[in-house]
Structures are given as C-alpha cells and as structure tokens.
Amino acid sequence: MPIDFESRIVHNLLASGILIVLVAMLQWLLVVRVRSFATRDIEARRRWVVGIRNGAVLLTLAGLLTIWATELRTLAFSLVAFAVAIVVSIKELIMCLSGTFVRTAGRSFDLGDSIEIGDIRGVVIDRNFLTTTILEIGPGQNVHQRTGRAITIPNSVFLNTPVVNETFTDRYVLHVFSVPLKTGDDWRAAEKRILEAACAECSPWLDDARRHMEGLSSRHSLDAPSVEPRVTLYLPEPERIDLLVRIPAPSTKKGRVEQAILRRYLNGRADETEPK
C-alpha cells in the first residue's frame, strides 16, 4: 500500500531529526577526542576541530538531501512547470519588448517617417514599448494618399518582418512609378512627353533636392545619386512596355507630384491625337 503524502512527510521529519542528533553526537565525540590529544600544537587541534564541524555540516546536508530527494524533485518539477507557464503567458509581452529593442537599436524609423511593414504602409504617428501606430497610406503600393485609418501594430512584428523606410532620405525622396504602353505604341514619343512633364513639375525644387542628396551622401559616406528625372524601359510581358519614371519629390508630396506629371503627360498626348 503506497505511503500517502502526510505519512511520508512525518517519516522524513523523524528521519531528519534522528540524522541531526546522530551527526551532532558524532561531532561532539570527535571534538572531545581531538581536544584530549596530548599535544602542544594548539593550531593543529583547532584545524581538526574546524574540519570536524565542516564535515558534520556537509554530512547533515547530504543526509537531508537524500531523505527529502523525492519531495525536492517534485518541488523542482513544480517550479519548472510554473516558470514555463509564466513564460508562455507573457510570450507576446516579451516579444513586443524584444521588438522594441530591435527597433531602437537598428534606428529603422522615427516619428513622422513613412514606412512599410508587410502589407501595411503609413506614417508613424506614435510608438511606445509595446506598439507602434501608423496613419495608413494606400490602398496598395501605387496609391500615396492617406486613408484616414490609424493602424496599431505590436512591436513583435519587427523581429521577423522587414521594415521599409520610404523617407530615409528625409525631406526629398527618389520616387518611381510606371506608365504602361502597348508594343505598338510610339514609346519614343511617350518617353519624351513623360520626361518633359517630369522636368517641368520637378524644376522648382531640383537644385534643393540635389544639395540635400549630396549632404546625405557625404554624411553616410555614399555616392550621391542623380536627382535628374529619368525614364527607363521595362518589358514585363511580350506585348507590353512600361516606362519607369524616377523623379525627385518632397517626401510628403510624392503622390501629388506623380499625379501632376501623369495629368500633364496625358494632356499632351490628347493634344497630339486631336484632329488638326
């Protein structure tokens, strides 16, 4: 018949008491024996006495550990299970704090920056130890208008999701958008019109953007990028040509600048197709 918990505790207490009494008696006998040695070396006798006392303490601890081994093992398992439960329950909190550390250490963005995290784009308007709040821009990648929605994301996403800072270059950015054409269209004329429209819209801040980029390049030891509007060709499909337009634009106005260039381009195209 198995011994119940209370009986086992009483048994261990009695065994512990007997062990302590026996060790104490053994220590007393040994100390008395050492002190009875006919020697004048007082230091030697003192060392023996101290050694006996330390040995008695170690013997008592070893005996108690042996007697209470089962209970100590149960207590250790309980403590481990409790620690695991605590870690699981606050896992998200720990991950959010870790994400905050990664964000702070990497200096990936600041308040007012326009960032992209996964499928979410927006301007950072608030951040704390657990969450980051952004004012959404979109929808999608090709729209640069604010939707009016505020999105609060946990900082744990910074542990495994790349952060794209769209305003890393501060006041001015190099913005890229595409104009699709069919292969039968006159892409040379279209390229000329879109480039003229880009130069006309960007001319008011072109020199300021150039100086700004040169300052950033000097500060970060990078080659200064060209800020002149440019158009490159891209063939995504056999029957399609994309004109990729890259322009310098104020970081807070790139959507409006893109719309102004497209409208100027389309108006020029309409004027060419009107009958004389």
Domains defined for the chain, CATH in brackets: 5-88 (no CATH), 105-165 (2.30.30.60), 172-273 (3.30.70)
C-alpha 152/C-alpha 124 separation (Å) is 10
Residue type, 202: C
Per-residue 3-state assignment (H helix, E strand, C coil) for 99-139: HHHHHHHHCCCCCCCEEEECCEEEEEEEECCCEEEEEEECC
What are the pLDDT tens digits along the chain (276 aa)? 345 667 778 888 888 888 889 988 988 888 888 877 756 667 777 778 888 888 888 888 888 888 888 888 888 888 888 888 887 778 888 888 898 888 888 888 888 888 888 888 888 888 888 889 988 887 666 667 777 788 898 998 888 888 888 777 678 888 889 899 988 888 899 999 999 999 999 989 888 888 888 887 777 677 777 888 999 998 888 889 999 999 898 887 888 899 999 999 888 765 555 554
Per-residue 3-state assignment (H helix, E strand, C coil) for 33-52: HHHCCCCCCHHHHHHHHHHH
**Could you report the per-residue pLDDT of 83-106, keeping only the tens digit for each?**
888 877 788 888 888 988 888 888
List residues bridging with 120 in a β-sheet: 117
